[in-house]
């Protein structure tokens, strides 16, 4: 019985990490870095959409919907679980998504398919301007 209660508690706890759009906007508005990262995310997303075609474009749009609906919270939770504060975790999650989209952009430009070659590595700098070169 204890095991079942523990599993239920863990499941509910993980679901409670998600934040509302209002909470997200509040967190974002309290950090200049986060505001910049969110704008940079919008820029890279639009840039990737311009070069993507057909089913690839549909997949990128679906991935972004998934990002907004749940993936952003999942990644932020991983950072929070690692000991970062909630605001900084959402900022870092946004940088993570920027990196993911930059890798997709690189793959489209160099392979035509959006796959990133094994030799391509994006560092995880704290400076969001690094990601928008």
**Are 60 and 49 spatial neighbours (Cβ–Cβ below 8 Å)?**
yes
Phi, psi angle pair for 24, to nearest 5°: -60, -45
d(CA 41, CA 105): 13
Tokens of 81: 């679980």
In the chain, how long is the greatest CA-to-CA distance? 54
Per residue in 7-33, pLDDT (tens digit) is 444 444 444 567 777 887 888 788 888
Rounded to an integer, the average pLDDT of 93-118 is 80
What is residue 90's three-state secondary structure?
helix
pTM for the complete prediction?
0.71
**Residue 70 CA to chain centroid, in angstroms?**
10
What's the CA gap between 89 and 121, in Å, rounded?
Answer: 22
| Span 74-95, pLDDT tens digits | 999 999 999 988 888 899 999 9
């Amino acid at each position: 019985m204890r095991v079942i209660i523990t599993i239920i508690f863990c499941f509910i706890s993980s679901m409670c990490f998600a934040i509302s759009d209002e909470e997200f906007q509040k967190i974002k508005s309290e950090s200049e870095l986060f505001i910049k990262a969110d704008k940079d995310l919008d820029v890279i997303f639009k840039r990737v959409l311009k070069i993507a075609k057909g089913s690839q474009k549909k997949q990128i749009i679906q991935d972004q919907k998934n990002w907004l609906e749940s993936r952003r919270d999942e990644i932020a939770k991983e950072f929070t679980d690692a000991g970062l504060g909630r605001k900084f975790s959402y900022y870092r999650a946004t940088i993570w998504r920027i990196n993911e989209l930059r890798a997709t952009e690189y793959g489209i430009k160099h392979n035509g398919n959006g796959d990133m070659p094994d030799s391509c590595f994006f560092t995880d700098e704290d400076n969001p301007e690094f990601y928008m070169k």
